[in-house]
Structure 1
Amino acid sequence: MNNFSGSGKNGLFLRVKTEMLRHAPFTAGGAVSGIILMFIFSKISSGSALNIFYVLHPGHVFLSALVTASMYELHKRGKLKEKYPLFWLLAIGYIGSVGIATISDSLIPYIGEWLLGLPNKGTHLGFIEEWYIVNPLAVIGIAVAYFFPSTKFPHAAHILLSTWASLFHILSAGVITGVGSCVVVVFLFIAVWFPCCFSDIIFPLLFVEKGDVLHFH
């Protein structure tokens, strides 16, 4: 099992650096959309914001599972393909979507809420609190990837849903004003940029045999 094509750690580092830089502008665009929504919904109640979060977060998990599993499905070869292929697809798709989406949508926003001292801060772990929605959608995303693997459009939609889910998680903790808005923008970018690129691109390709990367995202 290897990382990416290239010369060992240097090849991995260069691939990660290239993809992170390539996706930064689009992530920034997602953050801008978050700013617009933040002003539109500046007076939203905590309960309403949380309800919207629990619509966006499961959608994010579904798309993340679809892209992560698709990336692996499109590149899988070698030993992992020959031995327990469905187990690896499920494991990689589930961990790469639910695990990393939880970090992106819940844990990083919670840190922002804590730093801002918002009154209603909370982690809101979707795979536990809304397990009957989030977990099945992850499995459905993996199943779709198994039969119809696709990465391009779902990744773009994934970035936007992740941005919006992170935003409404923060809005559910309290009203954002003044300097707090700038802090939120920074956390939206951080919450989406690395986690989404990691789950969609880097994580699944860690399980691909050397030389089996047909194309990068």
Structure 2
Amino acid sequence: MRKSDAIWKELKHHLPFTLVLSLLAGVLVAVFYLIGSVPSRELFEVLHPAHVLVSAVATSAIYWKYKKSVVGGRWSVVGGEATKAILVGVSGAVLIGSLSDVLFPFLAGQLFSLETIFHLPLVEEPGLILGVALFGAVVGMYWDLFRVSHSLHVFLSVFASLFYLLAFSVEMSAVAVLLISGLVFLVVYIPCCISDIVFPLFFINEPCEGCGHWH
């Protein structure tokens, strides 16, 4: 199987789960909105680092698993596969996590005239964001947690994106939250799958020795 075919297969496989979760998140947040106030900013400040953490786990896990199967997982302080796995995990989690949780919701807010304020935790709290990404990338190499971390990654990213819009935009109605949850699906599905699946596989040049397929 070619790399492009494997990537397309993975994207189709994860589409239903992400769509259902995005709509479910929109319904839950809308219900909370109806019954009382939601501490959107506080929740975002917790969910975003958690999202970066599990994203780093998933990204480094899939890179390490298949790179190790090809080259034997050579360890060295500088330039070895362990170092590369950590760099891939950290960079993928931080950059793409910032896109899905901050930049894309910000652009969506501007598109719908929500007067959304730009707030990037990577700039305001770089130690926290880079620290959790580094920890997650190391964890991803030691435990095969890709399936668990990817599902949790999508879950956290959906809520982080919604709460970003709620925290840094003008007040919205419950109906507006439901409508925006459909847009959040695209905001989350594309970056999360790129981060966890496409991004690490771009650094692999050969299929897995065990089955001959890309995953």
Change (3 A) 1:128 1:183: same
The partner residue of 1:109 within 102, 105, 124 is 105
Quick one: distance in 2 between partners of 1:112 and 1:205? 29
The partner residue of 2:59 within 68, 73, 77 is 68
Give runs of aligned pairs for residues 1-217 of structure 1, distance below 5 A: 5-6=1-2, 11-12=3-4, 14-42=5-33, 44=37, 48-77=39-68, 78=70, 81-82=73-74, 83-119=79-115, 121-172=116-167, 173-177=169-173, 180-181=176-177, 183-212=179-208, 217=215
Per-residue CA shift, 1:190-209, capped at 9, x if unaligned?
A: 11111111111111111112
Quick one: distance in 2 between partners of 1:206 and 1:33? 32
How far residue 158 of structure 1 moved from its aligned partner, in angstroms, is 0.8
Change (3 A) 1:171 1:213: farther
Quick one: distance in 2 between partners of 1:117 and 1:88? 41
Per-residue CA shift, 1:138-189, capped at 9, x if unaligned?
A: 0000111122232011111111100000000010112223773454123210
Change (3 A) 1:92 1:213: farther
Q: Aligned pairs, how many?
A: 205
Residue 165 of structure 1 aligns with an amino acid whose one-letter code is A
* 3-state SS of 2:192 partner: helix
Change (3 A) 1:117 1:141: same
TM-score (norm 1): 0.85
Change (3 A) 1:29 1:132: same
Contact 1:112 1:183 (C-alpha < 8 Å) held by counterparts: no
Q: Which runs of 4+ in 1 moved over 6 A?
A: none
* 3-state SS of 2:159 partner: helix
How far residue 132 of structure 1 moved from its aligned partner, in angstroms, is 2.5
The runs of 5 or more residues in structure 1 that have no matched partner are none
Per-residue CA shift, 1:26-65, capped at 9, x if unaligned?
A: 00121122212331343646xx312210100100000000
Quick one: distance in 2 between partners of 1:176 and 1:144? 38
Cα RMSD of the aligned pairs, angstroms, is: 2.3
